[in-house]
């Protein structure tokens, strides 16, 4: 019996939580992305989005 093809990884969803206001630093109060990052999100590679979700945004949230 042949091995089945591995399933593709699901696309990384947006970190948006529906609180869409930029603070004095220019970061969204809900997801901690800049306006530019929000605009570019859909065109980012899966690797870049994963980096934001795992490293960049959690670091900003803790500040």
Query: CB neighbours (10 Å) of residue 50?
Result: 13
Q: Among 36, 25, 34, 35, which Cα is nearest to 63's?
A: 25
Task: Encode pLDDT of 1-25 as tens digits.
Answer: 667 777 776 777 899 999 999 999 9
pTM, entire model: 0.79
Percent residues over pLDDT 90 in the chain: 76
């Amino acid at each position: 019996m042949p091995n089945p093809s591995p399933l593709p990884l699901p696309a990384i969803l947006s970190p948006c939580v529906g609180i869409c206001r930029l603070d004095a630093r220019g970061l969204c109060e809900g997801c901690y992305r800049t306006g530019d990052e929000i605009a570019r999100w859909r065109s980012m590679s899966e690797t870049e989005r994963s980096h934001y979700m795992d490293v960049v945004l959690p670091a900003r949230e803790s500040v």
